[in-house]
Structure 1
Amino acid sequence: MKPLTQTLKNKAETEKLFVPYIMAGAQGLDKLEEEIAMLAEQGAAAIELGVPFSDPVADGPTIQAAGLRAFAQQVTLKKLIAVLQEIHSDVPLILMGYSNSFFHYGIKELVKDLQETDVQGFIIPDLPYEHRDLVLPDLGDKALLTLVSLTSPAERIEQLTAEAEGFIYAVTVNGITGTDQNFRKDLLEHLAKVKAVSDIPVLAGFGISTSEHVKSFQQVCDGVVIGSKIVRSLEQQGTEKTGELVAEIFR
């Protein structure tokens, strides 16, 4: 079992998991260590770091805008990794980005350059399950996380969860990320089905932005992923106030 999977499984035995997403470098890469430390202090089980990309098909307006801010500050995957090689995180880090970024860098080279960092996994939304072998052989002890969509039938869910690593990212809406979402009436039932067949933690993500959302999803899942709400707060209010916001959501 890979380190990220073991860490999250152990943690999920005693508490609900909170995994925040932030766009790396949206406020400048010099702020990244401070942002990571704040989220760890607020109880993050792991932290997803978004890699800015020119065509982010799964991202809503807030995260797209954050990516543009990162681009404006000339953030690249190479620069991000250089920063990650110099800082420490008290919780595992997960790089979330699109396949072109990682393939352009080179998977073997990427994993080698991340070896002395706290990055323990990857989320690649546009990499189909059927093509995971394009990266798996070169990942070593890094986990490749799986997304399960609302449209996945029972057989597909069982297939996706059978060899999953880290945690199952159970997508709660059809479409892009963002805080202004209307959840399906049968969503909790769907999440319960995913949870029933998964041997690793199942976290709900996309559109989660309030303490009410968190409490609802915690009924059937091992935790939640929150992205757009935190990304917007970091832009508008800075690190300290965002820490207060996270504490309020999880009060």
Structure 2
Amino acid sequence: MKQLVAYITSGYPDKSFSVELALNLAQNGVDTLELGVPFSDPVADGPLIEKANHKALELGFKFKDLLEISKEIAPQVDTLWMGYFNSFYQQDIKKLLPLAQELGVNGLIIPDLPHEEALLYKNLFDANNLVNISFVAPTDSEQRIKEVVTDAQKFIYMVAYAGITGSGVAEDLQPFLQSIKKQTKTPVFVGFGVNAKTAKEKVKGADGVIVGSAFINILLKNELSYSQKISQCNELAKIIKNEINS
């Protein structure tokens, strides 16, 4: 069964909504939840996720909100924190990782932390039974891919193209996938540009997909009520899970 990872922006539009949405998604095909930490300059994210980040911050998001949301969902849903390194560093990462483990969070996704710097924190992650998800991109050499994936845990975040999330660029991923797969047995999940229309093609040869902008697009629709947003996200999750496994 190929896996579906869903990204949502923590605290947008509010904490209780994030909890309800997360629990609903887990019942409708989502295997792992990325809880996004709102940040003022999310460099790897496209305009939709950037907009949701800014809106969450405008509404008063604080890091403690992430902890409160995680406390509710992490015991019930496989949960990862997705954020930029500064957000975690400011919280004192040596104290934060034990807290994440205590809350039931299983790992972090930090797109702006290079592999070499991530290695400096490996012992800290290992000591707290947390994974730090590894990224590979089409611009990486075979040697670079080997370095990055050798100790990769849980899954490898394969960036489908060089760019930002949500832009939906189409390209042949098979040579890139094969170059990763020959170096590791860790599952490879495809991110960036995955939606209901592209999921079936993107997942070929991979073990799962990571979907963010497609969900956030629903959350940003002001004309929808909270219950309508959750209903549409549930339906999207079911469609994508079916597409990647049919």
TM over 0.5: yes
Once the two structures are superposed, the pairs formed by residues 157-236 of structure 1 within 5 Å of their partners are: 157-178=145-166, 180-184=167-171, 186-211=172-197, 213-236=198-221
Aligned residue among 232, 238, 245 for 1:241:
232
Distance (whole Å) between structure 1 residues aligned to residue 73 and residue 65 of structure 2? 13
Structure 2 equivalent of residue 5 of structure 1: none
**1:80 Cα deviation after fit:** 1.2
Task: Say if 1:48 and 1:93, in contact at 8 Å, map to a contact too.
Answer: yes
Q: Quote the residue 1:72 is aligned against.
A: 58
* Residues 19 and 72, structure 2, Cα contact 8 Å, conserved in 1: no
SS at match of 1:114: helix
RMSD: 1.6
1:248 maps to a residue whose letter is I
Between 82-91 and 107-116, the greater mean CA deviation after superposition: 82-91
Q: Is the 8 A contact 1:20 1:226 kept in 2?
A: yes
Uncovered stretches (5+) of structure 1, i.e. residues with no partner = 1-14
**Structure 2: tracts of 5 or more residues without a match:** none
Return the alpha-carbon distance in structure 2 between the equivalents of residues 87 and 162 of structure 1: 31
C-alpha distance in structure 2 between counterparts of 1:92 and 1:245, whole Å: 19
Percent of pairs identical after alignment? 36
Determine if contact 2:135/2:158 at 8 Å carries over to the other structure. Answer: yes
1:250 and 2:236 aligned: no
Partner Cα distance (1:33, 1:105) in 2: 22
Distance change (3 Å), C-alpha of 1:134 and 1:73:
farther
Deviations along 1:57-80, one digit per CA (max 9) or x if unpaired, are 111100000001110221122221
Whether contact under 8 Å (2:133, 2:156) holds in the other structure is yes
The Cα shift of 1:215 comes to 1.6
Matches within 5 A, 1:1-251: 15-139=1-125, 140-178=128-166, 180-184=167-171, 186-211=172-197, 213-236=198-221, 237=224, 238-251=229-242
Deviation at 1:231, TM superposition (A): 1.0
Q: Secondary structure of the equivalent of 1:31?
A: helix
Report how many aligned residue pairs link the two structures: 234
In structure 2, relative to structure 1, the CA distance for the partners of 1:181 and 1:115 (3 Å cut) is closer
- Which whole-Å CA distance do the structure 1 matches of 2:54 and 2:203 have between them? 33
User: Shift in Å at residue 242 of structure 1?
Assistant: 1.3
In 2, Cα distance between the equivalents of 1:94 and 1:214?
Answer: 21
SS at structure 2 position matched to 1:54: coil
8 A Cα contact 2:108 2:130, kept in partner:
yes
1:196/1:91 Cα in 2 relative to 1: closer, same or farther (>3 Å)? farther
Tell me, in whole angstroms, the C-alpha distance in 2 between the residues paired with 1:132 and 1:232. Answer: 31
Question: Residues 150-176 of structure 1: CA distance to partner in whole angstroms, max 9, x if unpaired?
Answer: 101111111111001121000001111
Kindly indicate whether the alpha-carbon contact (under 8 Å) linking 1:188 and 1:217 is maintained by their aligned counterparts in 2. no
Give the whole-Å Cα distance in 1 for the aligned partners of 2:154 and 2:57.
29
Contact 1:192 1:221 in 2 (8 A): no
CA shift, 1:133, in A, is 3.2
Distance 2:9 2:235 in 1: 19
Deviations 1:167-220 (A, max 9, x none): 100000111111x32222x32221222123222110000011124x22223321
CA distance in 2 between counterparts of 1:38 and 1:192 reads 34
Aligned counterparts of 1:42 and 1:235: Cα–Cα separation in 2:
20
Deviation string 1:133-153 (CA, Å, 9 cap, x unpaired) is 332222220100001011011
Structure 1 contact 36–89 (Cα < 8 Å) conserved: no
